[in-house]
Structure 1
């Protein structure tokens, strides 16, 4: 866990979902690969070539942007796949119930945090996939809102998405903390906006989140 900033008396915690609320490398990989497979099918491309195209584009984009990461939704958009099409693919192809199960330890932590904080999720998947993920983990009851790729038709990082999360949290931006596993996608922009930011390596870091927050 890397703590970039924690505001005094934080009121809202804005969580990423994938790679943050659970740790499952196989599922994370499949979420990417199923979309690349569909990209290859719909564009009449060899799958190996399609994978290479995405990988090469991401590497070149990172070189031109100081090593920053580009979300898959934005990569596919840059390669001619409208966000609306990405949304449809994700709704059809991604099923978290095949990979995830209830995390009682996570749920216990979230239940306690929800007593004193508003909990919001932002995901680059559609809202329905985000909710299915939360339900698979047993965490759905603790989140008052889920903002997804189909909420605004844009992918993180985008200031409109984070502004909407702040609005849903009914808190000032200075009292919100963004929590996620990718700095460029989940943390950098919220820090610029004045939020707190916590970078995690996986769900195990969240098990100790209360200890971090109780210092404020």
Structure 2
């Protein structure tokens, strides 16, 4: 089911999330939890039982409060630097291996890109994001631009600064930007705080309805 947060504007830019939005979140959660546990042991020297308890905390947050839960924000809050997390994740996490082609995602993104610029904003590194996009079948070329963790410095989502990077790259005011993602607090709320709008989805199955809504706004505007 879609959750539409409207501000009365037609989009001049649509900013998509990747994990859980363009492929099912179930492919992401188990893998990222394993990597975080290993990282806490290896980089922070935590006893395995303590790392397991912290991972269990994140697992429960993902289960009960997915819309507000960011793995990146979690590891930063537990004392891992943003560059450490990016490097460790890039070296040890390969979500792309489990992703399958999805013609629906390819079709819907192409349908929207035909009428408005679309960007991808992800806390993945560029290499990881491109590998996932290639496996889906859309590739980085399916977006007008891809903005990754490598481009936003120390301000990944849900920091509004990550969205400012996208807005500045396109020269679009926030009130004319719409976000699309599966976590309201991570993918929609930061843009909303800047004046934008957005659509929260449950995953790729909701993309046709989200695109219908955005195309309708353009048609009526």
The Cα of 1:105 is off from its aligned counterpart by 1.4
SS of 2:35 mapped into structure 1: helix
Structure 2 segments unaligned to the other structure (5+ residues): none
Query: Is 1:6–1:177's contact at 8 Å kept on the other side of the alignment?
Result: no
The Cα of 1:7 is off from its aligned counterpart by 4.3
Measured in 2, the distance between the counterparts of 1:142 and 1:183 equals 24
The Cα of 1:59 is off from its aligned counterpart by 7.9
Query: Where does residue 63 of structure 1 map in the other structure?
Result: none
Query: Is 1:14–1:120's contact at 8 Å kept on the other side of the alignment?
Result: yes
Q: Count matched residues.
A: 210
The Cα of 1:103 is off from its aligned counterpart by 0.8
Q: Does 1:102 align with 2:101?
A: yes
Q: TM-score, normalised by structure 2?
A: 0.85
Query: Is 1:19–1:28's contact at 8 Å kept on the other side of the alignment?
Result: no
Query: Where does residue 136 of structure 2 map in the other structure?
Result: 137
SS of 1:208 mapped into structure 2: helix
SS of 2:110 mapped into structure 1: helix
Cα gap change, 1:3 to 1:81, in 2 (>3 Å): same
Cα gap change, 1:182 to 1:42, in 2 (>3 Å): same
Segments of 4+ moved more than 3 angstroms: 54-60, 67-70
Q: Deviations over 1:39-86 (max 9, x none)?
A: 2233333334213125448989xxxxxx98352223222222111110
Structure 1 segments unaligned to the other structure (5+ residues): 61-66
Judge which range, 177-186 or 206-215, deviates more.
206-215
| Equivalence map 1:1-216=2 (5 Å) | 1-5=2-6, 7-56=8-57, 69-140=68-139, 141-151=141-151, 152-216=153-217
Q: TM-score, normalised by structure 1?
A: 0.87
Query: Is 1:16–1:181's contact at 8 Å kept on the other side of the alignment?
Result: yes
Measured in 1, the distance between the counterparts of 2:216 and 2:58 equals 42
